[in-house]
Structure 1
Amino acid sequence: MAVAPAVTNLRLLHISSSAVVPKQCPAPSSVQLVGRSSSSRRFKPPLRAALQTSVVLREEGESGGGAATLRELCRGHVPDHVLSRFLSRAEGIGYVMPTDVQSQALPVLLSGRDCVIHAQTGSGKTLAYLLLVFSAVKAQRSAVQALIVVPTRELGMQVTKVARMLASKAADNDLEEKSSCTVMALLDGGMLRRHKSWLKAEPPSIVVATIASLCQMLDKQIFKLDALEVLVIDEVDFLFNSSKQVSSLKKILTSYSSSSKRQTVFASASIPQHKRFVYDCIQQKWTKRDVVHVHVNAIKPLPSCLQHKFVVCTKKLKHAVLLSLLHSDAPKSAIVFVGEQSEKSKKAGNGPSTVLLVDFLKTSYRGSSDVLLLEEDMNFNSRAASLSELREGEGYLLVATDIAARGVDLPETTHIYNFDLPRTAVDYLHRAGRTGRKPFSDEKCNVTSIITLEERFVLQRYENELMFNCEEVII
């Protein structure tokens, strides 16, 4: 995470919950508002003291009055045809009430404030910021009005799919809302030339982009962000921890989109040193106004429906142990996470461990699920084909690297297997968060790690950091 220089020109605003949250909406359970002063250059408090003086508007677990439905939360902000289109599909599966993060973040977002949305994986952050986007975009205006920056193509494909569903044209008999917003996906691959022509001919209202493809267009001045109303940075901690992307991301936040009217939203399930990050948003001028930090489930960052297990074995027995677990669990849909191939292994001429594992499972696993592969080295079309096959099939066994740990939304996944232990607790959080993603479901899901005896100490550290208990399984 980027570190700010000495504190300058900072003021912390103390506000009441009614200043942010409408009366009919539950107030945020853990919200901090930090603001930038336009005066008082002499005021230079130390960072720690400054952060300690910020006000928590509502403590975790405090009641917030009567619960509001999604329609009530968005009334008067999100166009009726957009909200109705979503609810007509969602109400069929009982999705009428907002999730915790939606009930807490939407009043802040729709009030026009810059926001850091910090909540569990699968908690509904994407829909929250998309509803904001559609409240701000005007279909009749020919300009890029909303930009959503994502770290991976897979997450971009998912966000684009939901955005296009919300933006799809209204029925012919809806005379008031015949126009619709256009959504463009700039996700690398071989389609940027076609997008270049599209951008010059008729700028889309909403752009979903990875940083590399976005900066390629901005550097060549194919389009500009002068009319930008909303800027969303999804999986913000992942982008800031990437040395390849952080400088480009800062340019997007400052020089490429410098409008003082822009509303900025950061989202992630994990923001290490989140107080420092909220402070940096102001100090580095990544945000244009007061920043509200909506932190949901701060005590338990992992969904409560997950059951965590581990099996201790030697490295040579890992394949056999995984096979035994698969046969005993008989998962309908599962993901097996494998670590990235080391440079030493590549130089030695060894094949990728993912490919070796897929070959082993295809010859040894007797389950009904198809064995599929998803890794970063695959080209764009292959990765897109794998995801399409996963969503169309009745069951799957996906072998993947950590490319699948961010943004891949497969709600049918009930089992996660860590064939290789993740490198950090944050990586464990995002891997585990690929399951337990069905809204309002109490279905128990399993996360099982196959580890050596030495790795048990690493897993215990993850337990302490993420506040979960891991049970040993004896095979």
Structure 2
Amino acid sequence: MASQQLLSAPHFSLITKFSPFHPSLLSPPQKLTLFHSTTCPPLQSSSTSRITNLQAVADACSETESNVPTETTALTLRNICQGFVPEHILHRMEEIGFVFPTDIQREALPTLFTGRDCILHAQTGSGKTLTYLLLILSLINPQRSSVQAVVVVPTRELGMQVTKVARMLAAKSTDVEVKGCTVMALLDGGMLRRHKSWLKAEPPAIVVATVASLCHMLEKHILRLDSVKVLVVDEVDFLFYSSKQVGSVRKLLTSFSSCDKRQTVFASASIPQHKHFVHDCIQQKWTKRDVVHIHVSAIKPMPLCLLHKFVVCGKKNKHQILLALLESDAPESAIIFVGEQSEKSKKAGNDPSTTLLIEFLKTSYDGSLEILLLEEDMNFNSRAASLTEIRQGGGFLLVSTDIAARGIDLPETTHIFNFDLPQTATDYLHRAGRAGRKPFSDRKCIVTNLITSEERFVLQRFENELMFSCEELML
């Protein structure tokens, strides 16, 4: 019954496939679609005409579609955001390179601008981060000294990435006398005393936080959510299905704040049993009753630029097979995913698979790629150092546990190697989605799985669930 109350998201059929965006959020571009020279008019600037403006965009797009295509036209992000997002931020957005909308931005932003709660459900690299940041920046008042938006993330690494994009967009403009929005990263490992002083001296307009750090601040009454207009939970399925964090997330949504006093946005590339999840959102009062589930690429959850392969090998020769693949594929940059060490293995005093693999590569791999490690057990400084080295340029071989699978954007990655198969199809989707994120490129990226013969049926289950096919390699 509750699900029947949901309204379907507006669907704009004027689809621009070309995506000249910043590397941090995008999937590879495709060709522009041709349409009649009629273009969508810019939205009115009055804050009192928000609904009228959205209808104008929809009507103009419908009119464009009905005419015979004779000239290349494109609905831009400016067309969608004008009248909602301040001009200096639109200008900054275009300077960075955000010009044309992705499918999720085209479908979700008009709904978000009406104030509706939304669940953004789209492929990895589809632009969900920019979508909710534009909503936040449309509502923030830089003159107010209070926290007005909170973005909750599952990992420190994703938080650093979101913070970087938010600060680029919200930076003070040199052309106009407009105060920039301050963005605070409240992430695991931060100095509580420093954050406490900052919040008292000049409360930031936007806070990007991990669940643990945010709840700690709320419990200590250092931070309040009374003035928060927008609450975003990124990678929402991971947070809700993680036994370590789900209790804190529920408390954040219901005890520390009320859905009636905020606009709530959930985002993820994967939401298992999403109809049931939407029902829970309403019943548990995580969102308002009129929440909209916007599902883009529902038929093909896996990015189309990926080729999937597998090699059947024994456990004892996995290292040598991986080395042969690195030599034959010659990746520009690659992520090698390794499974988490079991508690039984830890108690036995065994070295984790990541350590063994790093040591093997350092002695056996003679290529030019820099070998780096990223795993949850590393301290925060070591994890940050690994990502900093990657982003300074040059090719890399990143040996990682699933901590790198959620939201981290490394657009130079051309190959994914699943040294150990993930536990679920959802984990496979997020691992694979780390490749194929480089803009202006139509290059096919490769996901290769090293499996035993007994694991073939597991991989087949992933193929069926995610609707992709995997080719066997014979070495």
TM-score by length of 1: 0.86
Going from structure 1 to structure 2, the CA distance change for 1:10 and 1:393 (only over 3 Å counts) comes to closer
**Superposed CA offset, 1:436-471 (max 9, x none):** 112453210000000000000100000000000000
Going from structure 1 to structure 2, the CA distance change for 1:281 and 1:120 (only over 3 Å counts) comes to same
Q: Which residue of 2 aligns with 1:24?
A: 57
Q: 1: distance between equivalents of 2:455 and 2:261?
A: 50
Going from structure 1 to structure 2, the CA distance change for 1:88 and 1:216 (only over 3 Å counts) comes to same
SS at structure 1 position matched to 2:288: coil
Is contact 1:409-1:434 (8 Å) kept? yes
SS at structure 1 position matched to 2:161: helix
SS at structure 2 position matched to 1:455: helix
SS at structure 1 position matched to 2:255: helix
Is contact 2:259-2:287 (8 Å) kept? no
Q: Which residue of 1 aligns with 2:256?
A: 256
Note the residue ranges of structure 2 that are not aligned, 5 or more in a row: 12-50, 62-71
The CA deviation at 1:180 is 1.0
Q: 2: distance between equivalents of 1:225 and 1:16?
A: 28
Aligned ranges for residues 124-273 of structure 1 at < 5 Å? 124-171=127-174, 173-175=175-177, 177=178, 179-258=179-258, 260-273=260-273
Structure 2 residue 271 is matched with structure 1 residue 278? no
Structure 2 residue 101 is matched with structure 1 residue 101? no
Amino acid in the other structure paired with 1:139: P
Is contact 2:151-2:207 (8 Å) kept? yes
Q: Which residue of 1 aligns with 2:95?
A: 88
**Superposed CA offset, 1:279-302 (max 9, x none):** 111111111351111100001001
Is contact 1:333-1:414 (8 Å) kept? yes
Going from structure 1 to structure 2, the CA distance change for 1:154 and 1:109 (only over 3 Å counts) comes to same
Q: 2: distance between equivalents of 1:381 and 1:105?
A: 36
Aligned ranges for residues 62-73 of structure 1 at < 5 Å? 67-73=74-80
Q: Which residue of 2 aligns with 1:312?
A: 312
Going from structure 1 to structure 2, the CA distance change for 1:13 and 1:404 (only over 3 Å counts) comes to closer
Amino acid in the other structure paired with 1:76: G
Q: Which residue of 1 aligns with 2:126?
A: 123
The CA deviation at 1:110 is 1.2
- In angstroms, what is the RMSD of aligned CA positions? 2.0
Going from structure 1 to structure 2, the CA distance change for 1:198 and 1:351 (only over 3 Å counts) comes to same
Amino acid in the other structure paired with 1:174: V
Going from structure 1 to structure 2, the CA distance change for 1:465 and 1:82 (only over 3 Å counts) comes to same
SS at structure 1 position matched to 2:287: coil
Q: 2: distance between equivalents of 1:341 and 1:466?
A: 26
Q: 1: distance between equivalents of 2:130 and 2:349?
A: 44
State the percentage of identical aligned residues: 70
**Superposed CA offset, 1:151-198 (max 9, x none):** 000100100000111111110x423x2x11110111111422200111
Amino acid in the other structure paired with 1:117: L
Q: Which residue of 2 aligns with 1:466?
A: 466
TM-score by length of 2: 0.86
Amino acid in the other structure paired with 2:99: V
The CA deviation at 1:260 is 2.3
Amino acid in the other structure paired with 2:5: L
The CA deviation at 1:346 is 1.0
SS at structure 2 position matched to 1:147: strand
SS at structure 1 position matched to 2:335: strand
Q: 1: distance between equivalents of 2:356 and 2:268?
A: 32
Q: 1: distance between equivalents of 2:334 and 2:9?
A: 45
Is contact 2:123-2:301 (8 Å) kept? yes
Going from structure 1 to structure 2, the CA distance change for 1:119 and 1:14 (only over 3 Å counts) comes to closer
Aligned ranges for residues 314-463 of structure 1 at < 5 Å? 314-439=314-439, 441-463=441-463
Is contact 1:261-1:288 (8 Å) kept? no
Q: 2: distance between equivalents of 1:235 and 1:210?
A: 11
Q: 1: distance between equivalents of 2:327 and 2:204?
A: 49
Q: Which residue of 2 aligns with 1:12?
A: 5
Note the residue ranges of structure 1 that are not aligned, 5 or more in a row: 1-6, 29-64
Is contact 2:309-2:470 (8 Å) kept? yes
Q: 2: distance between equivalents of 1:145 and 1:293?
A: 24
**Superposed CA offset, 1:135-157 (max 9, x none):** 01110001110000000001001
The CA deviation at 1:23 is 4.0
